[in-house]
Amino acid sequence: MAKAKANLKLIEPRLDAETRIHDDHHVSVRLWLRLLACTNRIEGVVRQRLQADFQTTLPRFDLLAQLERAPQGLRMSELSQRLMVTGGNVTGVTDGLEKEGLVVRETDPSDRRAFKVRLTPEGQRQFGRMAAEHEQWVIGLFKRMSPKRKNQLAELLGELKTQISQSPDA
């Protein structure tokens, strides 16, 4: 299987966000499409591994990850705001996880008309196993880059993130 994939790569160059670059594209557009290509590639691996190893999806993993950071629970609106990946329907994903006993909806003590969602002990346990594996996948994907280059990349992305936040569009 790995062999077949390797052969395929020799015949056909990988298509990605950068495939559509024109010669006359501005350097910023090229940079954006390259950033998108890197993100898509890593996200693709994470999606595949979550499916293969845990029969789960990235929006589910993402939702559990946000709840794990908020032991007091989150309102649905807060949860939507924090999700990292697109393509997940927050209500649908929450319903599914609740049915499986990984999350619960509870009345918000500070506002009895509102609900909060939080992890159950079983949800914590299952997420813990997935998060440990997830960390290993990501470490594996970045392992060919030297620590020095990783720091440079983190610094440049930090700079970009701050600059974009200052943009009137963001």
d(CA 75, CA 105): 9
- The residue (of 55 and 146) whose beta carbon lies closer to its own copies is 146
Give yes or no for a contact between 138 and 39, defined as CB atoms under 8 angstroms apart.
no
Q: How far is the CB of 26 from its own copies (least distance, A)?
A: 6
> Pick from 32, 51, 109, 111: which binds its own copies (CB under 8 A)?
32
Q: Is 164 a binder of its own copies (CB under 8 A)? A: yes
The CA distance from 11 to 15, in Å, is 12
Interface with its own copies (CB under 8 A), residue from 7, 39, 51, 77: 39
Cβ pair 78, 117 in contact under 8 A = no
Identify which of residues 114 and 154 has a Cβ nearer to its own copies in the complex.
154
- Binding segment toward its own copies, per CB under 8 A, in 90-98, 108-116, 117-125, 150-158: 150-158
CB 75 within 8 A of CB 108: yes
Judged by CB under 8 A, which of 16, 98, 100, 108 binds its own copies?
16
Q: Check binding of 145 to its own copies (CB under 8 A).
A: yes
Q: How far apart are CA 50 and CA 61, in angstroms?
A: 8
Q: Scanning residues 75 to 114, which ones bind its own copies (CB under 8 A)?
A: 81-82, 84-87
Q: Which residues pair with 103 in a beta bridge?
A: 119
